[in-house]
Structure 1
Amino acid sequence: MMPIDLDVVLARLLLAAAGSLAAGGAVWAVAVLCRRTLPALAQQRSLWLCGQVAVAAVFLAMLLPPDEGLRVMPIIEIVEQEAAPAAPMPAVPPAQAAAAPVLALASAATERPLSAWARDAGRAWLVLYLLGLVHALWRWRRAQRLLDGLAASGLPLAVSEHKGFAQHSRTQVPLAVVEVDVPMSPMLLGLFRPRLLLPRHLRGFDTLQQQLIVEHELTHWRRRDLHWSAAALLLQSLFWFNPFMRLLGARLGWAQEFGCDRDVLRGRPSAERKAYAAALVAQLKLQCRPAGMALAFGASDAGSARTDAPTLAARIGLIRTPATARAWPRWVALASLAAVALANFALQPALAWQAAEPVIEPARLLAGHNPAQHSPDTTAPPAAATTPASLDCTMLVDAASGVALVREGTCDASVTPASTFKIAISLMGFDSGVLRDDHAPYLPYKASYASSNPGWRHGTDPAGWLRESIVWYSQQVTKRLGAASVRNYVRAFDYGNRTLASVAGVADAVAVSELSPTLRITPQQQTEFLRKVVNRELALSPQAYDVTARLLKVEETPNGWEVHGKTGTAPVRLADGSADKDNYIGWFVGWTIKDGRKLVFARLMQYPADSNSYAGLKTRQAFLGELAQRTL
């Protein structure tokens, strides 16, 4: 099976391509509306090129991870479905543990899931796009070779040999001039080796007309119109599937012609304007249509002019009676394009990848694990433990030797791990592949998650999940892992009381998360688990250790200690198992490193419910302050 990351990219490429078509239609409609409302805009190159850029920007923006703060349309989830899980695997001897499979899967399903069609469509689109791109580049190369051959068939022309250059010295013409005996339009050719191609029949025009036509082509050069056309041609090639890119590109060519006409005829008397218009009409009657897809000026005049009489008439009308160029219509048009591009992006749907719920049987983790020693009942909650009236424990243990350097307070109280269980969930997620890296998978928030904390009601990724301690993301990770897989991991970790029981009225994804009503752990058990993590004694992938450690790193370095840790907050549980809403426990657990020495720690404190901040945050600040003062 193709890696999920590539499938997501292909699916987003397909959706972005469809979105660029919609954006192209909207941009084209706005551009045409602006041109009709403000006719002078037809002469503005920026309107048409920026229209192409706006379409490309929408395409690229749709490839980014979805952000609910910017989008209006709902997120489309693609569910990666696996086959039905097999029966639980038996424990394996240590010698066979390395070869034990991570995913226990049955035979493939007979019906293909809907997500398979989405993947196939993305792959098919990639093939089609690459074929289209190759075809577009082939057409461009063929047209360019035809024009290069045309230039090679001509003869170099000295400026002094042509009446059209009577007003120019050789130093004022910074490009080679070639005269060809072909009925074509004068044109600039070549972005890096520019040449001016002049048809021989141009000598039959009167001297003023020749000078005006040559000046027109040189003005294209001075305005760097070839560079504008190169950018437009690049976008048309990359977005060959979008017809609006070609329409905008064609209008860009006409806008450049309008602009050159305006610059050449600025300040000239009416007689010269009429002579220039007559020369234009005469030239169009003589020339043939050159190759398309070529990067050359004059290459679009002939064919387009015969099929777009209103545009040609408008050009001649502007030559005779020029419009006054103003800056404000350009800014109005650009602002309109920006607004349309942003609106299109906001209204385009986005894809979010949702993994399946495979049952991961970490047989390699269970190697050497004796079920007879630890076989808690996972179907019913344990008997309620008596919670001390006040909880306050500090433990610091040398990670290498296991010697307790500090053990103060009630360190044998068994309480919920709260959000410190996210350390274990992170290790499970990255080991199994449900979590891929710091920023993947990105998951959008849904109203159905019913987060009690308004600050968590937004999309997030693994880095944001651990940084903000977002509970609903934990539940999505455990859902994708599957309840059986999470329980297997917890047994292999020997985590706390190892009890993640199913409870009536509680979804399994919640029952195996940090909100588990049955999972309990003591501060001492926290340090025992963390020693295995720091010493990498659990048979997890290196990425699981590396990414988890990186995401748990704390910015503060008290007394030179590098700290990695996780907080947790939960109400105190009374002897009957009910929550004491007046008192909360705060956890801060993890490890700290200095001069190559590694210590694991567990700090547990109790606070009244009217405290100004989360109990976990207060505990972290207390521990960091204590660590700065300790001599270890």
Structure 2
Amino acid sequence: MSPAELLMSRFLLASGGCLAAGLAVWAVTTLCRRRLPDFAAQRSLWLLSQITIVAAFLVILLPHSERLRIIPQIDLESATQSGVASANTTATKAPATGTPASSGAPASETSWLASGAQAWLLIYLLGLGYAIGKLVHARRMLNGLAAAGSRMDARHPHDGFAGSAQAARTPDVIEVDAPISPMLFGLIKPRLLLPRHLRSLAPVQQQLIVAHELTHLRRHDLQWMSAGVLLQTLLWFNPFMRLLRVNLSWAQELGCDRDVLRGRPQLQRKAYAAALVAQLRLQHHTVATALAFGGVSERSVAARIALIREPASAPRRPWARCAALASLAGIVLGSLAFQPALAWRIDAAPHAAQKASPASASTSSVVLSCTAMIDAASGQRLVHEGQCDERVTPASTFNIAVSLMGYDSGFLRDEHAPVLAFKEGYADWNDSWRASTDPTSWMRNSTVWYAQQVSAHLGAAQFQRYINDFDYGNREVLGEAGDDNALPLSWISSTLAISPVEQLAFLRKVVNRELGLAPAAYDMTARITRLDKLHNGWEIHGKTGTSAPVSVAGPDDAQHEYGWFVGWASKGGRTVIFARLVLDPRQEGHAAGTRTKKAFLRDLPARLDALN
């Protein structure tokens, strides 16, 4: 699956996730409205509810963390066996011109999920265009009404601005001969449209209506409404976004009613309610991008009148408001924890294809796989197969970076110095680690405690500086949360993560000596990473890595292992950089990194010969 197809699949998954989040948010807000009398009037909670759904959408869409995921991966299988056979053939025969190798089935044979994701993206873009078109049309209609009206000034007095309203800060006021509700619009340059039929109401009613619109301006309700409309437009397919936006408008109207009528006598309250009813009868329709007096619906106007006559007296409950906010935050965190990762799995080919490719017998159980190769001199992509942009722990491949740091800082001196003695308390997961170790045996055995001694010598500041200068993966050298173990554990199934593509970029800088290090750092690292020559004369430098994915609770996934093998191959003045990553079921007694290395080296001579 190509990066574009993976992104589209994530978009489809995120769309479904935000629908689920919308349902959860609506359930929370419904419960809050029943238990909290004043919840409906809290515009901040309605806008935060919309933001919660958008956050859930983005959390699923953006790259995820292996540590936070607690449900299994979704394996995206190839639609046809012929597509897999094609991919296997390409894997062994790269074109002589260096054209990137195909890594999946042809476009006509993409998986059902990839096809569905493409269709959904097209539908989304069409719907987004339609929603934006409606907003543009509404804006043009408002501008047309304003252009057809007459601007009011001191020469054209209006009863609505008599008395205390005259002292209020007013926008441009335009009187129009149309059956509309008084409405305020314009995010940058607000304008107030007043229908001429408003003059037929009693002066006190006109003053209360104008005060209502000016209160919207004072409370910055245009900005709040614009944010709600924007979020609803972006997620136009989610019906809960519209429901929440309508409730946001409802909360804004209630807030203005409360502010306008605060301290007023019952007679004026009744006049205000009568003005709402009269306006509802006269208006033709409202515009979604404007704040309109009384222009919500008959049902909402009836509810407003009931609150005007008998305003709610229940005090606000801070603990209940905090509970509502905590529930919304929990929905976002739930989206973060429960999102599945998308993994591309290449099924085993038919029996004939298995004979053609020795490694194909093991591919049926692979849940994540990438093989990538580039030319060191030009950076040209030679092979790009599988999911190569997925960031995971570098595991022991990070020892290449540690070696460069150690030799550049002077702590490491040559292939066999310094020799460090094993001490009680050091990591001793393997028998070979319980012995004195030099740089060569450290690199060969992936001795964790030796790398930890190098990092401890550097110190946190210099260690992070090297990581930044190397532009290594996500550069996050944090260690486990709550523990001071960034130096010894950051690259071991923890915060530091890197993708195969980023491994290639880093190793290319190593081969071309572009990291600004001492020459000895490159020379010595090349010596301790040197492996045997292939039978066709290519000299191999490389490093394996083995690690398990991590669940949200922290313990290793006992069922799967990452297997890395990264490095470079040189012959006759040409260098090819490679990275191989596999996530497959754990096999007792056989490290995933070692398995990955053996399988890759079996096919590597044919791949390299095909480049000539």
Give the TM-score band, short-chain normalised: 0.5 to 0.7
Match of 2:305 among 292, 297, 316: 316
Q: TM-score, normalised by structure 1?
A: 0.57
- Decide whether the 8 Å contact of 1:34 with 1:333 is kept in 2: yes
Change (3 A) 1:289 1:79: same
Q: Contact 1:100–1:363 (CA<8 Å) still a contact in 2?
A: no
User: What residue identity is the alignment partner of 1:29?
Assistant: A
Q: Residue 305 of structure 1 is aligned with which of 297, 301, 308?
A: 297
Partner SS state of residue 31, structure 1:
helix
Deviation readout 1:52-74 (Å, 9 max, x if unpaired): 00000000011222334333332
User: Could you tell me which residue of structure 2 aligns to residue 390 of structure 1?
Assistant: none
Indicate how the Cα distance of structure 1 residues 196 and 79 shifts in structure 2: closer, same or farther if over 3 A, else same: same
- Taking the aligned partners of 1:34 and 1:540, their CA distance within structure 2 comes to 61
SS in 2 for 1:267: coil
**Contact persistence 1:101–1:363 (CA under 8 A):** no
- Superposed displacement of residue 136, structure 1: 0.5
Equivalent residue number for residue 340 of structure 1:
331
Report the count of equivalent residues.
Answer: 424
**Distance verdict in 2 for CA 1:186–1:487, change over 3 Å:** farther
The aligned residue for residue 326 of structure 1 is 316
CA shift, 1:30, in A, is 0.9
SS state at 2:114 partner: helix
1:204 and 2:200 matched: yes
Task: Measure the CA separation in 2 of the matches of 1:100 and 1:466.
Answer: 20
Structure 1 unaligned blocks of 5 or more: 366-393, 399-403, 421-435, 441-452, 468-485, 499-508, 515-528, 549-577, 580-632
Aligned to 2:459: none
Cα 1:437–1:82 shift into 2, 3 Å: farther
Amino acid of the structure 1 residue aligned with 2:124:
Y
Hey, what does 1:494 align to over in structure 2?
539
In the aligned structure 1, how far is the partner of 2:120 from the partner of 2:344?
Answer: 19
Contact 1:35–1:42 (CA under 8 A) maintained in structure 2: yes
- Structure 2 matches for 1:148-547, cutoff 5 A? 148-158=143-153, 161-168=157-164, 172-291=168-287, 294-298=288-292, 301-302=294-295, 304-306=296-298, 309=299, 311-324=300-313, 326=316, 328=318, 329-353=320-344, 417-419=444-446, 438=473, 461-462=497-498, 493-495=538-540, 537-540=573-576
Shift of 1:108: 6.5
Deviates more, 1:4-13 or 1:240-249: 4-13
Q: Do 2:90 and 2:101's aligned partners in 1 also have CA atoms closer than 8 Å?
A: no
Distance of aligned partners of 1:235 and 1:344 in 2 relative to their CA distance in 1, 3 Å threshold: same
Tell me how far 1:100 sits from its aligned partner: 6.4
Aligned to 1:147: 142
Q: 1:83 to 1:200 in 2, by over 3 A?
A: same
CA shift digits 1:249-269 (9 cap, x unpaired)? 011111100010001111111
Contact 2:532–2:540, Cα closer than 8 Å, also in 1: no
Aligned mates of 1:191, 1:87 — CA distance in 2: 56
- Alpha-carbon RMSD across the aligned residues, in angstroms, is 5.0
- Change over 3 Å in CA distance of 1:233–1:313 after alignment to 2: same
Partner AA of 1:42 in structure 2: A
The 1:174/1:353 distance shift into structure 2, 3 A limit, reads farther
Following the alignment from structure 1 to structure 2, what is the Cα–Cα distance between the partners of residues 150 and 406? 82
Residues 355 and 158 from structure 1, CA distance in 2 versus in 1: closer, same or farther, beyond 3 angstroms?
farther
Tell me the distance in 1 between the aligned counterparts of 2:279 and 2:257.
15
Structure 1 letter corresponding to 2:53: V
Deviation at 1:464, TM superposition (A): 11
Question: 348-357 or 488-497, which moves further after superposition?
Answer: 488-497
Aligned partners of 2:193 and 2:542: how far apart in 1?
85
Alignment CA distance shift 1:86-1:142 (3 Å): closer
Aligned twin of 1:134: 129
1:423-460 Cα distance to aligned partner (Å, 9 max, x none):
xxxxxxxxxxxxx99369xxxxxxxxxxxx99966797
CA distance in 1, matches of 2:574, 2:213: 74
Structure 1 residue 75 displacement after superposition: 2.3
The CA distance in 1 between the partners of 2:343 and 2:92, in whole Å, is: 32
Q: Distance in 2 between matches of 1:497 and 1:207?
A: 86
Aligned mates of 1:493, 1:164 — CA distance in 2: 89
Kept in 1: contact 2:47–2:244 (CA 8 A): yes
For the Cα contact (< 8 Å) 1:177–1:196, is it kept in 2? yes
Partner of 1:584 in structure 2? none
Contact 1:74/1:349, CA 8 A, preserved across alignment = yes
Give the TM-score normalised by the residue count of structure 2. 0.58
Q: 1:109 to 1:232 in 2, by over 3 A?
A: closer
Q: Which of 6, 10, 29 is the matching residue for 1:12?
A: 10
Report the secondary structure of 2:180's partner residue. Answer: coil
SS in 2 for 1:540: strand
Contact 2:165 2:207 (C-alpha < 8 Å) held by counterparts: no
Letter in 2 for 1:494: E
**CA pair 208-538 structure 1, distance change in 2 beyond 3 A:** same
**1:23 positional shift:** 0.5
> Do the aligned partners of 1:67 and 1:459 also contact (CA within 8 Å) in 2?
no
Instruction: Quote the Cα distance in structure 1 between the aligned partners of 2:213 and 2:372.
Output: 73
Task: Summarize deviations over 1:490-544 as a string: whole Å, max 9, x none.
Answer: 965434999xxxxxxxxxx99x977xxxxxxxxxxxxxx99x77x9944315xx6
Q: CA–CA distance in 2 between the matches of 1:109 and 1:487? A: 37
Q: What secondary structure, in the 3-state scheme, does the structure 2 residue paired with 1:39 have?
A: coil
Distance 2:107 2:280 in 1: 65
Equivalent position amino acid for 1:70 in 2: L
Number of the residue aligned with 2:484: none
How far 1:186 sits from its partner (Å)?
0.6
Task: Provide closer, same or farther for how the CA distance between residues 199 and 493 of structure 1 changes in structure 2, counting only shifts above 3 A.
Answer: same
Tell me how far apart the structure 2 counterparts of residues 312 and 361 of structure 1 sit (CA, whole Å): 64
- Could you say if the C-alpha distance between residues 273 and 361 of structure 1 is closer, same or farther in structure 2, counting changes exceeding 3 Å? closer
Alpha carbons of 1:5 and 1:63: their partners in 2 closer, same or farther (altered >3 Å)? Answer: same
CA spacing shift, 1:418–1:10, aligned 2, 3 Å: same
**Structure 1 CA distance for aligned equivalents of residues 152 and 91 of structure 2:** 85
The corresponding residue for 2:76 is: 78
Q: Which amino acid aligns with 2:297?
A: A
Tell me which residue corresponds to 2:32: 34
Kindly state the Cα deviation for residue 327 of structure 1 after the two structures are TM-superposed.
6.0
Q: Within 1, Cα distance between the matches of 2:572 and 2:290?
A: 64
Q: 2:38, 2:312 within 8 Å by CA — same for their partners in 1?
A: yes
Query: 1:438, 1:454 → 2: CA distance?
Result: 12
SS of the equivalent of 2:68 reads coil
For the residues of structure 2 that align with 1:363 and 1:152, how far apart are their CA atoms?
Answer: 62
- Once the two structures are TM-superposed, the CA of residue 199 in structure 1 deviates from its matched residue by 1.1
In 1, the alpha carbon distance for the partners of 2:107 and 2:258 equals: 68
Is the 2:473–2:502 contact (alpha carbons within 8 Å) kept by the matching residues of 1? no
SS in 1 for 2:163: coil
**What code does the residue aligned with 1:296 have?**
A
- Structure 2, unmatched stretches of 5+, are 349-356, 360-370, 377-402, 408-412, 420-436, 448-470, 476-488, 504-530, 544-559, 582-588, 591-612
List per-residue Cα deviations over 1:102-142 (Å, max 9, x = no partner).
Answer: 7599x978994xx6222222222221111111111111111
Q: Deviations over 1:454-503 (max 9, x none)?
A: 99667974379999xxxxxxxxxxxxxxxxxx9997965434999xxxxx
CA contact (8 A) 1:239 1:245 kept: yes
**Partner SS for 1:322:** coil
